[in-house]
Amino acid sequence: MPMDSSTTAGAADRGAANARTRILDAAEALFADRGYEASSTARIAGRAQVPKGLVFHYFPQKIDVLVTLVDERTFVEELREQPVEAVPGDPAGTLSRLARRLPLHASPAMRRILFREADTHRSVRERLGRLNGEVFLRARRALELALPGARGDQARLEVAAATFTAVLIYQENLSSLTGQHVDPDAVADLIARALGA
């Protein structure tokens, strides 16, 4: 944060982060707050404290800002690289741990953007689908490892994984949109009971 010395020193270096980052930061905040359509490029530039024209220097079209945001600030790859940890015999604890490890937790703003814009932008929808799929696969794998005896058939396990995934991913949106709070740990416990002894 103190002086980004990787760039050549110059008068234009005022402000903490470089222009491109500031633009993305501003866009992230605005898209989360009011939606993509309602956030003008001028406003993004204003909030980023860069001239209007510069936005188009880095991102030829407005939609590229959204696409870049989703590409660079949604950690699907990081998620995939993380090992699945499971405690055999404790499916509830295993799911809870999975929930807590999700890098998803990092940016509430990105999650709002992801859900809101998935509805109308294919590339965002694809990203959300991959994210969901990744979490689903890990939940299923975790449950398989936690229940070595393979109690309950495969179909039920999938339903359990899908339900947990939905609650996990939508969690925050759910509570901000409907006012209904759902505790992932409690759901993990519920699911464990359904699959358990």
Binding site for DNA (CB under 7 A): 12, 18-20, 38-43, 50-58, 60-63
Residue 20, contacted partner among a copy of itself, DNA, none, CB below 5-8 A by kind = DNA
Residues with Cβ within 8 Å of 77's Cβ and at least 6 positions away in sequence, in order, are none
Task: Provide the minimum distance between the beta carbon of 88 and DNA in the complex, in angstroms, as a whole number.
Answer: 52
Among 102, 97, 80, 85, CA closest to 170: 102
Nearer to DNA, 12 or 106 (CB): 12
d(CA 19, CA 54): 8
Q: Which does 132 bind (CB under 5 to 8 A by kind): a copy of itself, DNA, none?
A: a copy of itself
- Taking the complex as a whole, how short is the minimal distance between the CB of residue 57 and DNA, in angstroms? 5
Q: Does 46 contact a copy of itself by CB under 8 A? A: no
**Candidates 10-18, 68-76, 96-104, 154-162 — which segment interacts with a copy of itself by CB under 8 A?**
154-162
**How many CB atoms within 10 Å of residue 90?**
15
Does residue 32 contact residue 90 with C-beta atoms inside 8 Å?
no
From 19, 44, 76, 160, residue interacting with a copy of itself (rule: CB under 8 A): 160
| CA–CA gap between residue 42 and residue 54 (Å, rounded) | 10
Q: Which does residue 133 bind out of DNA, a copy of itself, none, counting CB within 5 to 8 angstroms by kind? A: a copy of itself
> Binding marks (x or -) toward a copy of itself, 99..128, rule CB under 8 A?
-------------x--xx-xxx----x--x
97, 141, 193 from 127: Cα distances, Å: 24, 21, 32
Q: Which of 17, 38, 63, 106 binds a copy of itself (CB under 8 A)?
A: 38
CB atoms within 10 A of CB 92: 20
